[in-house]
Amino acid sequence: MRVGVGILGGGTVGGTLARKLLDDHEVIASKSGVELALVKVAVRDMAKPRAFPAEYATDDLESVVDDPSVKLVVELMGGLEPARSLVLRALAQGKAVVTANKELVAADGPELFQEAASHGVSLLFEAAVGGGIPLIRPLSESLAGERLTRVLGIVNGTTNFILSAMDSEGRDYADVLEEAQRLGYAEADPTADVGGGDAAAKAAILAALAFGVWVGGDGVYREGITEIQTDDIEFGRRLGYCIKLLAVGEDTPAGVAVRVHPAMVPLDHPLASVRGAHNAVFVEGPAVGDLLFMGPGAGGDPTATAVLGDVIDAARELLAGTQVVPRIQFGAGRLAEFEQVLSQFYIRLEVADAPGVLAQIAGVFGDHGVSIRSVWQEGRGGAATLLLVTHEATEGDQQAALDAIRSLDTVRQVAAAIRVIGS
Ligand SMILES: NC(=O)c1ccc[n+]([C@@H]2O[C@H](COP(=O)([O-])OP(=O)(O)OC[C@H]3O[C@@H](n4cnc5c(N)ncnc54)[C@H](OP(=O)(O)O)[C@@H]3O)[C@@H](O)[C@H]2O)c1
């Protein structure tokens, strides 16, 4: 049985998907039992060369959604509008939708999935986190019954590429960013990547899948990588860590905590070996243990492969005529106050090299309920670099201690404060 497919967006992913649907038509049918028929691909600029024959292209977005032979709409335009309106328009007509748009899912997930549920159709988004890595389906299906405790993800290839190059080549942030832009790993405006916004959208989606709690992309605490210095990469390595930008979701006694920040990751942790533009997500559960999902987080072919898997899945459901129950839930749940979240910190202080300074600093931490796990000091003339790794304490106490340390006469600078992830 045939299912007509309309694609919104014929760029890197949409163009590759269109070509796959045409070239691999028979293989897909014989492997999956569904015959997928490409109907149209909507683009903005009809003059651009495409990865698929020109007769499939149109610049009339609505005509693709409204075409009666299109039963399944694939949104691969990106951004919020007009993607959001078009997805809602397709769902309202009872058409299944597949998207790779994390920004859209993280911003409007509850509304979109409510609309899909009310029409009993699929809204699938495997490629929205981790590109080509099968991740959403394992989390939403295979692990649906597990009480997951923690999800740690390297979900932004650009920042992982930058941090990996800073680590292996000792080059500074600005220098590596420029190279990443030249090689096409970073956008001309890299803010969404290096500022943590892209990872925050993915963290919100991962937390909804892992814990059934919705925070939304804007509700995720975030710190990017723009302040990371090569000194801390070097010192971190001496202490047994490497620095990664992590999306972290945790089910804690204080509630579900979702955040994005650079973190010192122990060198023997599986995420430490994820280098370059790769993505990986490490999932922990009491029954299932530790699971690692790793692979290409972007790129036309890997991403279109993940999208195609969703298209086949949604087509099967359309053909079966079943009412589809959404695979993601948006419970209000209990979200942790950020100040209550337990964190461990690596801290680099530039201090006066004088007797009693270390005791004074340890005293300030102690006054705020933060105990120190290890200290390392290097003197240089009248100044010294002090590296501290704290034990776990609440974010509120850690930040209050750091504020008090900043105001000490003997402390010239809190040069870095980076969270540490326990293995
Ligand atoms: N690229 C990846 O590796 C990757 C990985 C994971 C997820 N994703 C997600 O996949 C989606 C697509 O990404 P992409 O890299 O394929 O983007 P892209 O190369 O920029 O392609 C976007 C396509 O949408 C079309 N388009 C955008 N706005 C339009 C409008 N208002 N009217 C008509 N057409 C419009 C563009 O038309 P023109 O070609 O005429 O400009 C283009 O064909 C995004 O949500 C992205 O976050 C991408």
Of the residues 320, 353, 382, which one is the last residue of a structural domain?
A: 320
Choice among 40, 102, 202, 244 that is catalytic = 202
CATH number of domain containing 360: 3.30.70.260
The answer to whether 168 and 272 are in contact (CB under 8 A) is no
- Residues with beta carbon inside 6 Å of ligand 1? 9-14, 42-45, 48, 61, 76-78, 82, 100-101, 127, 131, 298-299, 303
Contacts of 253 (CB under 8 A, 6+ apart): none
The CA distance from 377 to 235, in Å, is 11
Question: For residue 125, how far is its CA from the centre of ligand 1 (angstroms)?
Answer: 15
Give start and end residues of each alpha helix (H) in 33-152: 61-66, 83-92, 102-119, 136-137
276, 372: one domain: no
CATH number of domain containing 85: 3.40.50.720
Tell whether 31 is covered by a domain: yes
Q: SS3 of 166, please?
A: helix
Number of domains in the chain: 3
The answer to whether 34 and 315 are in contact (CB under 8 A) is yes
Per-residue pLDDT reduced to its tens digit, 376-385:
998 878 899 9
Strand 393-394 relative to strand 342-352: parallel, antiparallel, unpaired? antiparallel
233, 370: one domain: no
Distances (CA, A) of 240 to 100, 267, 276, 292, 384: 36, 6, 20, 21, 21
The CA distance from 310 to 304, in Å, is 10
The CA distance from 306 to 37, in Å, is 18
Q: SS3 of 211, please?
A: helix
Provide the Cα torsion 241, 392, 139, 258; round to 10°: -110
Going by C-alpha positions, the residue among 243, 279, 283 that lies closest to residue 263 is 243
Strand 411-420 relative to strand 342-352: parallel, antiparallel, unpaired? antiparallel
170, 43: one domain: no
The CA distance from 262 to 379, in Å, is 27
Question: For residue 8, how far is its CA from the centre of ligand 1 (angstroms)?
Answer: 8
239, 215: one domain: yes
CATH number of domain containing 195: 3.30.360.10
Q: How many CA atoms lie within 13 A of 302 on its CB side?
A: 18
143, 285: one domain: yes
Question: For residue 379, how far is its CA from the centre of ligand 1 (angstroms)?
Answer: 53
Atom number in ligand 1 closest to CA 41: 43
124, 161: one domain: no
Tell whether 325 is covered by a domain: no
Atom number in ligand 1 closest to CA 16: 16
Q: Which tokens belong to 96?
A: 């299944």
Tell whether 326 is covered by a domain: no
Tell whether 37 is covered by a domain: yes
Instruction: Say if residue 323 is exposed, middle or buried (CB neighbours under 10 Å; 0-12, 13-18, 19+).
Output: exposed
48, 115: one domain: yes
Residue nearest to atom 44 of ligand 1 (CA): 78
Tell whether 315 is covered by a domain: yes
Residue nearest to atom 23 of ligand 1 (CA): 9
Q: Which tokens belong to 172?
A: 């500074």
190, 212: one domain: yes
Tell whether 328 is covered by a domain: no
Sequential pLDDT tens for the chain (423 residues): 799 999 999 999 999 999 999 999 999 999 999 999 999 999 999 999 999 999 999 999 999 999 999 999 999 999 999 999 999 999 999 999 999 999 999 999 999 999 999 999 999 999 999 999 999 999 999 999 999 999 999 999 999 999 999 999 999 999 999 999 998 889 999 999 999 999 999 999 999 999 999 999 899 999 999 999 999 999 999 999 999 999 999 999 999 999 999 999 999 999 999 999 899 999 999 999 999 999 999 999 999 999 999 999 999 999 999 888 888 878 777 899 999 999 999 999 999 988 899 999 999 999 999 999 999 998 878 899 999 999 999 999 999 999 999 999 999 999 999 999 986
Question: For residue 11, how far is its CA from the centre of ligand 1 (angstroms)?
Answer: 5
217, 204: one domain: yes
Atom number in ligand 1 closest to CA 300: 3
Domain that holds residue 379: 339-420
142, 110: one domain: no
Q: Residue 202 catalytic?
A: yes
Going by C-alpha positions, the residue among 357, 364, 404, 407 that lies closest to residue 379 is 357
Atom number in ligand 1 closest to CA 46: 40
267, 143: one domain: yes
122, 156: one domain: no
Tell whether 330 is covered by a domain: no
Stated pTM of the model: 0.96
